[in-house]
Structure 1
Amino acid sequence: MPTYSIPTIPTNIIVHLGRPDQPARNITVPFIEYIKNVASSEIYPTWPESAIRANILSQITFALNRVYTEWYRSRGYDFDITNSTQYDQFFVENRDIFDNISKIVDDIFNNYVVRQGSIAPYFTQYCNGTTSTCDGLSQWGTVELANRGMVPYEILQYYYGDDINIVFNAPVQENIPSYPGVPLRLGSAGEDVRTIQRQLNRIGDNYPAIPRVSPTDGIFNLQTDAAVRKFQQIFNLTADGIVGKATWYKIKYIYNGVKNLGELTSEGVSLSEADRIYATELKEGDSGNQVRAIQYYLAVIGYFDDRFPFITPDGFFGPETAGAVRTFQQAFGMEPTGVVDRDTWYKISQVYDDIIHNLPQEVLSESDEIYPGRNLSLGMTGDDVQALQRFLVVISQNDPAISPVTVTGTFDSATEAAVREIQRERGLPVNGVVGPLTWARVVALYQQYEE
């Protein structure tokens, strides 16, 4: 379940058979079977059906909240939920399941409760209402309400407030940890970077020393680097500006905390906080600049590694591109789906990065013309910025529509202006950031004028 995307029901859930800090086994259980077990362990099959359904909806939502927020993974654990009623829900390994409870779970296992205006599964706290009481739902209390004739939704409103909704028939998919598997750093780009930018901005409302990132465009620029470093400094992490696994989950842990996502007072997650500007996956039939960028990477990989076919970056994900993706996936032990999901994209970028940092001797003289593998933006420095500026100098000398640039090795405002002008002329996103497509266009113009 990618971080703060639209929630899905996990295929499986990993249950720790003890308290969080207690040495105990972890077991992987199909989510639907987990809910049947919890419901059979916590409520009685003889209760009125409305009470049973209200309780099961609370149990589903509670578990989904733990999965969605990565409540335990953000604390360094390798499981989704415990079976300790002190912290979570009562789960008994290999217990018998009541038939009527099993049928009800089959009917509603992919429904869950949200607060109106939020997409996050609500923290549906509950207790039995007799030996223990709490601010949330009373399990025995639901029986009385059902006997009064209340339907499940009315029972849930009674305990959680009138401003709740029930999401019906949510999709089911494998629960994938949100950490992308590769560190994010200056020059990275994508929806994972955008997630970090959004979370840091919200954390910054409570910790104003963290500089704000604007816009949250998914480009890991100097603003983002500064925000990450300050966050790391505040929370006693190595302040290197790199979002590895420890920093990723620490950000998520603090974000969960400032938004109270594991409390009845949850701030929730709005739909606008889950919208995307980068596709979840690219597949045959898709088109656009994201497709062209993937094709560019594959074309360079194919040029230096004859195991892979060379493809033309035309922006259309046709059979040729799908075949190249399958060949790539097969070569690196991935399922050859022909679809570029997050794992495939990161593997492609990793292989590309390895190639450009280990170029054969015969092409080193032209290595400056190969995209350096990181997005260049305002304030960044380095040999790749210097190479970009050399290309822009030649272009501006031959095209009066392009602003003049000086080779300094620092991506300054003049460099950004020239980049924006080239992007506008080529129909690329006019953001002043040099990714693979802008780089390819700049090099093509440079080569044209150098001939």
Structure 2
Amino acid sequence: MAIRTPVIPDEIVVHLGPPNEEARNITVPFKEYIKNVASSELYPTWPADAIKANVLAQVSFALNRIYNEWYRSQGYNFDITSSPQYDQAFTEDIQFFEIMTKIVDDIFNNYIVNNGQVQPLFATYCDGKNVTCEGLSQWGSVDLARRGLSPIEILKYYYGDDIKIIYNAPVEANIQTYPGFPVRLGNSGDFVRLLKTQLNRIGQNYPAIPIIIDDSVFFTVETENAVRKFQEIFDLDVTGIVDKATWYKIKYLYNAVKKLSDLYSEGISIDEAQLIFDKQVDLGDEGYYIRTLNYFLNVISYFDQSIPFLELEGEVFTENTQEAVIAFQKKYGLPATGVVDARTWASIRGAYAQTLATIPREYMIYIDEFFPGLFLSKGMTGNNIIKLQNFLYTICENTHEIPGVRVNGVFDNLTEQSIKSIQRRVNAEPTGVVGPALWYYIVEWAKNASI
């Protein structure tokens, strides 16, 4: 799984004032933002190595705010403020010093981290004359540069020897972690795993939140119970559904308990970052994501002739998958890249749900055969579970090759045992969770068994 390492955002949203005061927000290219901060805070007569050390601190500070969604997790619609009381000095329409422009152009995509951690260092600093602090002294860095210290030596002098510079980070769009839709029982994806990781860490400080033992990508009843308790503790609507408000409240508390916006933070380890999410899937990728993608596109393309019909092609992202994705993206006004990113995935999920909701009358007799759009797991109840159990009951009655089930609308132990038996039969990991590919297999087996 890919590690969610920080990227250099192509843009940053700056609030022109303290966070709690009404002021305009402006969107600025990230590189121009750093040039502005450097020209607002530093002197062009300083040694170049002092300026470089300060710029690296400024970049790292801003990236920490963005990566941890510090302000957005508190409900604000910006990434950083222009107030040095809270963040860094930013002056609208300022003229940049030539040396600042040159240095920023060279190193704007480099930043500081602590060894073994992923998030950019919260590189606090102050001028060192009027204000002192635990981090870098800007005037002190000038003295160190004049004594011959390099930028990294200056930074280690203030931030300790356990730091390093990440060089040439990629420049990409700043994508928020909220997946764009309420996350609920039956959803799946690495954003669910991220959610579980954060809730479990918060639970160390708030023991009333039950620990989620299952670390899979599935939003289970166990996850829902933890979400409900979190919402109860923090005075949110207790729904068990992670809407945007709950998502960012969880993010805010996670940042707080790990002190991710402190100079001496607990940090996000590489192992934790690996739990977050793959950003996109593309030609040649494999796995359960692709099985889900292919199934959804198969159904969508069957009823929408503007999208090339996609046969169910297993768990490989083939050229046929790519062709269907491009056609889908064109139809829904998305960049026609053939790459399934968060926006495309959300649109496909929505289109699948809309397809089921508007299925032609002549196909209604088959409606129970379509995957309901939610991953089904132990503890879930309702009509979708009854449909599943009916298929399982048919298989059991006619083949006796799987454990029996009760058709009671509850995904209980018997249902889970039956599902795991089928998964072992097809050499799949026995998770006990029913996704699109397994649903399709169960439906086809039940239909053939009843003939």
TM-score surpassing 0.5?
A: yes
Contact 1:127 1:138 in 2 (8 A): yes
Contact 2:403 2:414 in 1 (8 A): yes
Q: TM-score, normalised by structure 1?
A: 0.96
Contact 2:322 2:339 in 1 (8 A): yes
Counterpart position of 1:387: 387
Counterpart position of 1:375: 375
Contact 1:4 1:68 in 2 (8 A): no
- Percent of aligned pairs sharing the same letter: 52
Which whole-Å CA distance do the structure 1 matches of 2:237 and 2:346 have between them?
A: 24
5 Å matches for 1:233-312?
233-276=232-275, 279-312=278-311
Task: Give the superposition deviation at 1:277.
Answer: 8.2
Partner-residue secondary structure (3-state), 1:13: strand
Task: Give the superposition deviation at 1:400.
Answer: 3.8
Counterpart position of 2:348: 348
Which whole-Å CA distance do the structure 1 matches of 2:195 and 2:54 have between them?
A: 35
Contact 1:74 1:252 in 2 (8 A): yes
Task: Give the superposition deviation at 1:215.
Answer: 2.0
Which whole-Å CA distance do the structure 1 matches of 2:317 and 2:137 have between them?
A: 53
CA offsets, 1:179-231, max 9 Å, x none?
Answer: 11111000000011111111000000000100111222121100110011111
Aligned-residue CA RMSD in angstroms? Answer: 1.6
Task: Give the superposition deviation at 1:284.
Answer: 2.2
Matched, 1:134 2:152: no
The one-letter code matched in structure 2 to 1:100 is I
Matched, 1:47 2:46: yes
Contact 1:137 1:159 in 2 (8 A): yes
Contact 1:293 1:313 in 2 (8 A): no
Range 22-31 or range 203-212, more displaced: 22-31
CA offsets, 1:284-334, max 9 Å, x none?
Answer: 233343222211101111223333332111133233222211121111111
CA offsets, 1:141-181, max 9 Å, x none?
Answer: 11111222221112111111111111111111011222111
Range 362-371 or range 159-168, more displaced: 362-371
Any stretches of 5+ residues in structure 2 without a counterpart?
none
Range 316-325 or range 233-242, more displaced: 316-325
CA offsets, 1:368-427, max 9 Å, x none?
Answer: 111111011011111111111111112123444411212111111111111111112223
Q: TM-score, normalised by structure 2?
A: 0.96
CA offsets, 1:94-124, max 9 Å, x none?
Answer: 2121222211111111111111211011111
Partner-residue secondary structure (3-state), 1:29: strand
Which whole-Å CA distance do the structure 2 matches of 1:229 and 1:357 have between them?
A: 29
Partner-residue secondary structure (3-state), 2:227: helix
Contact 1:423 1:429 in 2 (8 A): yes
Contact 2:4 2:278 in 1 (8 A): no
Contact 2:3 2:276 in 1 (8 A): no
5 Å matches for 1:119-130?
119-130=118-129
Contact 2:12 2:28 in 1 (8 A): yes
Partner-residue secondary structure (3-state), 2:178: coil
Counterpart position of 1:81: 80
Range 297-306 or range 62-71, more displaced: 297-306
Contact 1:392 1:446 in 2 (8 A): yes
Range 302-311 or range 167-176, more displaced: 302-311
Counterpart position of 1:229: 228
How many residue pairs are counted as aligned between the two chains?
A: 449
Which whole-Å CA distance do the structure 1 matches of 2:411 and 2:101 have between them?
A: 62
Contact 2:399 2:449 in 1 (8 A): no
5 Å matches for 1:69-218?
69-218=68-217
5 Å matches for 1:403-442?
403-442=403-442
Counterpart position of 1:333: 333
Which whole-Å CA distance do the structure 2 matches of 1:57 and 1:282 have between them?
A: 32
Contact 1:378 1:416 in 2 (8 A): yes
